[in-house]
Chain A
Amino acid sequence: MADRGKDTARLIGFGAVTALLYFLLFTFEDQVLALTSQGRWTVFIPIAIAFVLSYTHGNFTASFWDWFGIKAKK
Chain B
Amino acid sequence: MDPVSTNFIQLDLFNVLFLLGVGFVGGMVSGFIGSGGAFVLTPAMMSMGAPGIVAVASNICHKFPKALVGAMKRAKYGQVDVKLGIIMGLSAEAGILYGAHIQESVKRSFGDAGSNLYVSAAFVVVLAIVGGYVLWDAVRIYRRGEQHAEEKLTKLARWVQSLNIPGTMVYFPSIKARVSFLVTIPMGFATGMLAATIAVGGFIGVPSMMYVLGVPSLMASATELVIAFIMGVGGTIKYGWSGFVDIRLAMIILAGSLFGIQLGAIGTTYVKPYMVKVVMGTIMIIVLVSRAIVIPVYLSELQMISPLEPATITILKKVSFYVMVLALVTGAFIVLRALIGGMRSHRLELAAAAAVAPTLAAPAPTRLSPVGRFDKVLLATDGSEFSAGATRVALEMSKKCNAELTTMSMVLIGADAEGNPVEILEKAEAEAQEVLARVKAEAAQRGQDTRTELRQGSQPYKEIVRLADDRRADVIVMGRRGRRGLARMMVGESTRNVIGYADCSVLVVPKAAVVWSRRILLAIDGSRHSDMAAVVASELARKCNLPVAVISVLRPQFDEARRAEGKAAVERVRAALERDGVSVEAAVLEGDPAEQITGYASGQDADLIVLGSHGRTGLGRLLLGSVTEKVIGQADCPVMAVKA
Chain A interface (Cβ < 8 Å from any Cβ of B): 22, 25-26, 29-30, 32-34, 36-40, 42-43, 45-47, 49-51, 53-54, 57-58, 60-62, 64-65, 70-74
B69 partner residues in chain A, CB cutoff 8 A: 54, 58, 61
B242 partner residues in chain A, CB cutoff 8 A: 39
A-B contact pairs, 11 of them (CB 8 A): A32-B247, A33-B248, A34-B4, A37-B243, A43-B236, A50-B65, A50-B251, A53-B254, A62-B262, A64-B262, A72-B269
**Cβ contact of B266, chosen from A39, A43, A51, A65, cutoff 8 A:** A65
Q: Taking A30-B4, A46-B236, A65-B263 as contacts, is the C-beta distance between A39 and B243 under 8 angstroms? A: yes
Which B-chain residue is minimally distant from A50 (CB atoms)? B65
Which A-chain residue is minimally distant from B240 (CB atoms)? A43
Alpha-carbon separation in the docked complex, A33 to B245 (Å) = 9
Q: How many residues of B sit at the interface, in one of the four size bands?
A: 35 or more
B551 partner residues in chain A, CB cutoff 8 A: 74
Interface residues of B in 203-238 (CB under 8 A from A): 233, 236-237
Total A-B pairs, Cβ < 8 A: 125
Q: Is the CB of A72 within 8 A of B266?
A: yes
| Partner-binding segment picked from B394-402, B504-512, B532-540, B583-591 | B583-591
Shortest Cβ distance from residue B320 to the other chain A in the assembled complex, whole angstroms: 30
A70 partner residues in chain B, CB cutoff 8 A: 263, 266, 339, 343
Q: Is the CB of A74 within 8 A of B243?
A: no
Q: Taking A37-B8, A65-B263 as contacts, is the C-beta distance between A54 and B66 under 8 angstroms? A: yes
Q: Which of A30, A43, A53, A74 has the most CB of B within 10 A?
A: A74
Shortest Cβ distance from residue B527 to the other chain A in the assembled complex, whole angstroms: 20
Q: Taking A54-B65, A64-B259 as contacts, is the C-beta distance between A73 and B346 under 8 angstroms? A: yes
**Cβ contact of B262, chosen from A26, A29, A38, A61, cutoff 8 A:** A61
Alpha-carbon separation in the docked complex, A47 to B259 (Å) = 20
User: Is B64 an interface residue, CB under 8 A from the partner?
Assistant: yes
B588 partner residues in chain A, CB cutoff 8 A: 73-74
Shortest Cβ distance from residue B127 to the other chain A in the assembled complex, whole angstroms: 29
Alpha-carbon separation in the docked complex, A37 to B250 (Å) = 14
Q: Is the interface of B mostly helix, strand, loop or mixed?
A: helix
Q: Is the CB of B262 within 8 A of A65?
A: yes
B4 partner residues in chain A, CB cutoff 8 A: 30, 33-34, 37
Q: Which of A26, A36, A72 has the most CB of B within 10 A?
A: A72
Q: Taking A33-B246, A40-B241, A47-B236 as contacts, is the C-beta distance between A74 and B585 under 8 angstroms? A: yes
A74 partner residues in chain B, CB cutoff 8 A: 269, 551, 585-589
Shortest Cβ distance from residue A14 to the other chain B in the assembled complex, whole angstroms: 11
User: Is B376 an interface residue, CB under 8 A from the partner?
Assistant: no
Q: Taking A43-B236, A43-B240, A57-B258 as contacts, is the C-beta distance between A37 and B586 under 8 angstroms? A: no
A36 partner residues in chain B, CB cutoff 8 A: 240, 243, 245, 247
Q: Which of B240, B586, B587 has the most CB of A within 10 A?
A: B240
Q: Is the CB of B258 within 8 A of A25?
A: no
Q: Taking A30-B4, A73-B346 as contacts, is the C-beta distance between A39 and B240 under 8 angstroms? A: yes
Q: Is the CB of B68 within 8 A of A54?
A: yes
**Cβ contact of B3, chosen from A29, A37, A45, A72, cutoff 8 A:** A37
A73 partner residues in chain B, CB cutoff 8 A: 269-270, 342-343, 346, 587-589
Interface residues of B in 316-339 (CB under 8 A from A): 339
Q: Is the CB of A39 within 8 A of B247?
A: no
5 nearest A-B residue pairs (beta carbon): A74-B587, A43-B240, A39-B243, A54-B65, A58-B69
Alpha-carbon separation in the docked complex, A61 to B240 (Å) = 27
Which A-chain residue is minimally distant from B66 (CB atoms)? A54
Alpha-carbon separation in the docked complex, A47 to B239 (Å) = 12
User: Is B77 an interface residue, CB under 8 A from the partner?
Assistant: yes
* Beyond known contacts A33-B247, A36-B240: 7 more, CB 8 A cutoff: A38-B3, A38-B243, A49-B251, A50-B247, A64-B259, A73-B587, A74-B585
